[in-house]
């Protein structure tokens, strides 16, 4: 990943006068502790939190909230809390952490069936818990999960900002997207594409502008379900490291390149790492998609609750995963 100190000037979120990028904060010693149950010592935790601070310094953060009907489901292993309640806990913690590293606050987009682009479901520059609560309290979970549309909207907006930055001879402001969901997208058929495909196309667009996509943006999927199919789906997105344009008749052999702009935070990690109040859990949620240091967080001691996903994928490769719709994949299985 890139180093913020190599790019001393960034754009403001809304354009306007460029300003100096934030310097990474020093790690608060109060955040450092051992996690013996995960074989993570305080030195490892300090390294991880240092990388978190580097990754978040002066970076725009957008949170996509799955507000579909299934978010009202209660999880016995979370003290019988509804998924939407846990989602709020995480969102509040994200806001408070991000504000320490970037003074633009966060942008939140609620994802509800057929209403992705409704202006009332998007809020920029959220700076306080009160403002966040006021925004969220206007709505109730319901409808489907048009994730493809929402992710594509934010990535398209960021590619546009990168182009504007290039035209102005400025480095783009870095960008992190956090997608908090309990399911897979239900709008692939309507959009004619997939989430991994739009991620790869956005990375190609940024690369074509002369920037390294891996240094500029990342996406963290926070999965609030133990559904095995969903866990495998998002881990496949996370594990895909070879990017290219989609093959077409006009371009049957597109150029490939190594890239890593995605990560997944599993339901089980929320408990393993200590919930929304845990600096380690929150570090992975906010910076896992924009810093490679989180890819080997557990080293060789990957918890069994996660390792089964990796074992399954290793034993069941899916060569056409990036462009294969979910419905088609399920028929094949």
Cα separation values, 184 from 194, 196, 236, 289, Å: 10, 12, 13, 18
Domains of the chain: 59-332 (3.40.50.410)
Reading the block at residue 162, the tokens are 């990168």
What is the reported pLDDT for 114? 63
Could you tell me the pLDDT band of residue 50, with boundaries at 50, 70 and 90? Answer: very high
Do the strands 19-20 and 9-10 form a parallel or antiparallel pair, or are they unpaired?
Answer: antiparallel
| Average of per-residue pLDDT across 147-152 | 94
What is the reported pLDDT for 120? 79
Report which DSSP code applies to 258. E
| pTM for this predicted structure | 0.91
Query: What H or E segment, with its residue span, contains residue 305?
Result: helix 304-315
Could you tell me the pLDDT band of residue 21, with boundaries at 50, 70 and 90? Answer: low
Cβ–Cβ < 8 Å for 148, 185: yes
H-helix segments, 111-177: 129-136, 147-167
Instruction: Tell me the percentage of the chain whose pLDDT exceeds 90.
Output: 71
Q: How far apart are CA 99 and CA 45, in angstroms?
A: 21
What is the reported pLDDT for 6? 36
What is the reported pLDDT for 279? 95
What is the reported pLDDT for 12? 46
| Average of per-residue pLDDT across 284-300 | 90
Helix orientation angle between 304-315 and 228-239, rounded to the nearest 10 degrees: 70
H-helix segments, 32-146: 42-56, 83-101, 129-136
Cβ–Cβ < 8 Å for 125, 79: no
H-helix segments, 107-242: 129-136, 147-167, 188-191, 195-208, 213-216, 228-239
What is the reported pLDDT for 273? 92
Could you tell me the pLDDT band of residue 78, with boundaries at 50, 70 and 90? Answer: low
Of the chain, the end-to-end C-alpha distance in Å amounts to 36
What is the reported pLDDT for 142? 87
For residue 7, is pLDDT > 50?
A: no
Q: Alpha carbon 182 to chain centroid distance?
A: 14
Reading the block at residue 77, the tokens are 């292993």
Q: Return the number of other C-beta atoms located less than 10 Å from residue 77's C-beta.
A: 11
Do the strands 106-111 and 74-75 form a parallel or antiparallel pair, or are they unpaired?
Answer: unpaired
Among 46-60, 81-95, 156-170, 292-306, name the one with the lowest average pLDDT.
292-306
Cα separation values, 267 from 88, 272, 275, 300, Å: 15, 9, 10, 20
What is the reported pLDDT for 75? 74
| Average of per-residue pLDDT across 164-173 | 96
Q: How far apart are CA 151 and CA 144, in angstroms?
A: 15
Cβ–Cβ < 8 Å for 173, 290: no
For residue 11, is pLDDT > 70?
A: no
What is the reported pLDDT for 309? 97
Cβ–Cβ < 8 Å for 90, 285: yes
Name which residue leads in pLDDT, 322 or 8. Answer: 322
| Average of per-residue pLDDT across 198-223 | 97
For residue 203, is pLDDT > 60?
A: yes
Q: Which residue has the tokens 């069936």?
A: 113
Cβ–Cβ < 8 Å for 7, 22: no
Cβ–Cβ < 8 Å for 265, 306: no
| Average of per-residue pLDDT across 198-226 | 97
Cβ–Cβ < 8 Å for 60, 176: yes
pLDDT tens, residue by residue, 23-35? 898 999 999 999 9
């Amino acid at each position: 990943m890139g180093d913020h100190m190599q790019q001393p000037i960034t754009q403001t979120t809304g354009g306007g006068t460029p300003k100096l990028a934030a310097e990474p904060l020093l790690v608060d010693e109060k955040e450092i502790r051992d996690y013996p149950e995960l074989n993570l010592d305080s030195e490892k935790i300090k390294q991880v939190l240092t990388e978190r601070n580097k990754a978040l310094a002066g970076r725009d953060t957008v949170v996509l909230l799955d507000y579909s009907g299934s978010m009202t489901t209660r999880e016995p292993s979370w003290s019988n809390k509804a998924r939407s309640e846990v989602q709020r806990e995480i969102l509040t913690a994200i806001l408070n952490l991000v504000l320490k590293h970037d003074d633009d606050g966060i942008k939140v987009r609620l994802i509800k069936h057929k209403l992705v682009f409704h202006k009332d479901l998007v809020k920029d520059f959220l700076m306080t818990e009160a403002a966040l609560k006021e925004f969220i309290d206007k709505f109730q979970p319901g409808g489907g999960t048009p994730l493809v549309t929402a992710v594509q909207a934010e990535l398209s907006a960021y590619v546009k900002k990168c182009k504007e930055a290039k035209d102005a001879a400025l480095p783009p402001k870095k960008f992190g997207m956090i997608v908090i969901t309990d399911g897979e997208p239900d709008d692939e058929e309507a959009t004619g594409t997939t989430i991994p495909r739009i991620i790869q196309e956005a990375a190609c667009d940024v690369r074509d502008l002369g920037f390294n996509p891996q240094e500029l943006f990342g996406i963290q999927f926070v999965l609030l379900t133990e559904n095995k199919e969903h866990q495998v789906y998002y881990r496949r997105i996370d594990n895909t490291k070879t990017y290219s344009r989609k093959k077409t008749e006009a371009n049957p052999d597109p150029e490939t390149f190594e890239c890593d702009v995605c990560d997944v935070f599993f339901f089980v990690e929320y408990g393993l790492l200590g919930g929304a109040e845990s600096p380690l859990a929150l570090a992975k949620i906010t910076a896992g998609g924009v810093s490679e240091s989180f890819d080997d967080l557990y080293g060789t001691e990957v918890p069994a609750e996660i390792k089964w996903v990796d074992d399954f994928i290793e034993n069941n490769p899916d060569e056409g995963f990036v462009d294969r719709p979910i419905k088609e994949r399920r028929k094949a299985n």
